[in-house]
């Protein structure tokens, strides 16, 4: 393929560090490859490969040939040259890689320039990508969550390009992904199509043969069955799972243990990384399902990655060593025990349902206790769906005889799906816990619970929603008799006074900040500093709340209780981790 002069100049300056456009040719066009000077000096005496490539130094070797840094004498550029010896090797694999790569031209795939052979070997000449493999970056903890998602998007695009041209890679793994050092070279590049399957051509392997890397291999591929696009999707999802969780969920202590896990349902990614967006975790979990027809598509995975990029952390080392060690026990059924957020959802749903059935509406069809038990169980099993169903049923039940109350309840619950749209569904019912806590003077204790949420935005949103639940509970508990059956009056006398009161919104901001900052004061490392931090945090919370809402007479009690609860939760988690 001819290279335009302007493009060649830009590439040469990036790769070689000098401008080839002047008439004088560079004597050392691969100086930046960091090879010893004596290798450069002795290069002129080396024979050319395929009459144009001079080997400079070896870059790596594996079970399928040796990769060399080479100099293209005709185009004066650095290239990567893979040499596959004919003796003891299967040259058809090299030919298959050349055939597959020749169909592809994508920025996310290492470009193949030429393929050839002589009496001793087969040669594949490709672009030289200066960078590191993804497995190196994962091992060294140098990638942020955002980096991982960007790499995932680039690989989705690369695989979609390959699949659209009838090529299935079949060996997607971190070692076959290169992350360039130079951002202008792209986000990530997929390489090594040595076992790729080219649709419409004779299969590289017979049905029953197994090729690939076991820890990243789709179940149908491991069983020797025909593998298609869904196999690459599975492998890519395993790569992303490993990069985000710090562990490959399939890899065991040895090949036999790994083989036993292939085809098994894997632990949900969200269980290991509770701070990641729910939709992202679900998309990766779906893509690693054992049955290929259930995995969705690369486009589905790409959309989920793209949607989550702005929400995840941009700091390297998001997978902490302590968490990685715990996840290393992934093969065991038991994980470190933690307070269940689903149990919290059940408590919130039960409290809201019992209160509504007992005090808000007409004669209920169910006893409050029975209704609370049903709602709590439903939200524990199907948190998001049950919350929506519960809200709809509650509003429908209140609408006819108590339209005014229905208006206030609707305003109370409406912010939940807006602020917690990307949070775990089990958090949706939880803010309702703050209202019954307020009845006993401990509404602020809710902040100790929501302050355990991993994502900062979710902590802040849950803190504000807890205050909103407290306010709604007070409005519904006092004075509702005057507007219970009058929606317009309920809006004027029940909703407008709180929505238009700046102090209400200000206290919501205080609670949001308190929940956001709690992990900074109570870290769960040592009891003394945690108690001191909880004291400072609780005092600031009580002062801020009472300054803006003097009628919150129990603010000090609630803030103190919140601090104690926060210390207890952190201490419990620390002992579980130990």
DSSP code at position 450? H
Per the annotation, the verdict on 171 as an active-site residue is yes
The beta-carbon contacts of 394-400 under 8 Å, at least 24 apart in sequence, are 394/352, 394/353, 394/356, 397/361, 397/362, 397/364, 398/356, 398/360, 398/361
C-beta separation of 353 from 368 below 8 A: yes
H/E run at residue 190: strand 189-190
What are the residue ranges of helices labelled H in 223-339? 229-245, 255-261, 269-272, 278-287, 298-308, 321-327
Look at phi and psi of residue 61 and say left if phi exceeds 0, alpha if psi is from -120 to 50, else beta. beta
Q: Who contacts 98 (Cβ-Cβ below 8 Å, separation ≥6)?
A: 112, 115, 124
* Helix-helix angle 229-245:145-164, to 10 degrees: 170
Residue 199: DSSP 8-state:
T
Taking the CA atoms of residue 544, residue 545, residue 546 and residue 549 in that order, the dihedral angle to the nearest 10 degrees is 130
**Catalytic annotation, pick one of 171, 229, 232, 341:** 171
Q: How many CB atoms lie within 10 A of CB 540?
A: 16
Enter the tokens of residue 34.
Answer: 């960091």
- The residues carrying an active-site annotation are 171
């Amino acid at each position: 393929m001819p290279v335009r002069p302007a493009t060649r100049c830009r590439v040469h300056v990036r790769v070689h560090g000098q401008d080839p456009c002047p008439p004088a040719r560079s004597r050392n066009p691969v100086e930046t490859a960091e090879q010893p000077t004596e290798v450069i000096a002795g290069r002129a005496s080396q024979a050319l490969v395929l009459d144009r490539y001079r080997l400079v130094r070896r870059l790596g070797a594996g079970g399928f040939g040796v990769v060399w840094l080479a100099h293209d004498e005709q185009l004066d550029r650095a290239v990567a040259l893979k040499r596959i010896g004919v003796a003891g090797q299967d040259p058809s694999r090299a030919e298959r890689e050349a055939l597959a790569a020749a169909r592809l031209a994508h920025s996310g795939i290492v470009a193949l320039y030429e393929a050839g052979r002589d009496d001793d070997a087969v040669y594949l000449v490709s672009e030289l990508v200066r960078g590191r493999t993804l497995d190196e970056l994962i091992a060294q903890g140098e990638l942020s969550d955002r980096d991982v998602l960007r790499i995932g998007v680039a690989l989705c695009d690369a695989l979609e390009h390959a699949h659209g041209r009838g090529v299935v890679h079949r060996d997607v793994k971190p070692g076959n992904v290169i992350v360039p050092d130079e951002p202008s070279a792209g986000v990530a590049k997929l390489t090594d199509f040595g076992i790729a399957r080219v649709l419409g051509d004779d299969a590289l392997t017979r049905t029953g043969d197994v090729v690939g890397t076991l820890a990243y291999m789709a179940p149908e591929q491991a069983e020797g069955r025909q593998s298609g696009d869904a196999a690459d999707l599975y492998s890519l999802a395993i790569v992303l799972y490993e990069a985000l969780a710090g562990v490959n969920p399939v890899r065991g202590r040895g090949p036999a243990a790994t083989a036993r896990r292939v085809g098994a349902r894997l632990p949900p990614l969200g269980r290991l990384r509770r701070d990641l967006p729910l939709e992202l975790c679900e998309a990766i979990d779906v893509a690693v399902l054992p049955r290929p027809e259930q995995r969705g598509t690369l486009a589905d995975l790409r959309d989920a990655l793209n949607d989550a990029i702005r929400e995840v952390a941009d700091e390297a080392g998001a997978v902490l060593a302590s968490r990685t060690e715990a996840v290393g026990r992934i093969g065991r059924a038991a994980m470190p025990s933690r307070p269940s957020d689903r149990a919290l959802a059940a408590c919130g749903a039960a409290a809201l349902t019992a209160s509504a059935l007992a005090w808000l509406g007409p004669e209920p069809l169910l006893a409050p206790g029975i209704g609370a038990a049903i709602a709590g169980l439903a939200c524990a099993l199907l948190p998001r769906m049950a919350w929506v169903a519960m809200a709809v049923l509650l509003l429908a039940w209140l609408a006819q005889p108590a339209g005014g109350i229905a208006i206030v309840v609707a305003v109370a619950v409406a912010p939940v799906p807006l602020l917690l749209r990307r949070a775990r569904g089990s958090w949706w019912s939880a803010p309702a816990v703050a209202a019954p806590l307020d009845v006993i003077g401990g509404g602020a204790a809710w902040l100790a619970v929501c302050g355990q949420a991993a994502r900062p935005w979710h902590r802040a949103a849950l803190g504000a929603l807890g205050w909103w639940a407290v306010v709604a509970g007070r409005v519904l508990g006092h004075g509702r008799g005057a507007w219970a059956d009058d929606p317009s009056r309920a809006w004027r006398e029940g909703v407008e006074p709180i929505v238009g009161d700046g102090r209400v919104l200000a206290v919501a901001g205080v609670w949001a900040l308190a929940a956001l900052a709690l992990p900074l004061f109570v870290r769960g490392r040592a009891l003394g500093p945690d108690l001191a931090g909880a004291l400072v945090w609780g005092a600031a919370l009580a002062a801020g709340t009472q300054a803006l809402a003097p009628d919150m007479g129990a603010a000090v009690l609630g803030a103190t209780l919140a601090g104690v609860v926060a210390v207890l939760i952190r201490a419990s988690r620390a002992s579980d981790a130990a």
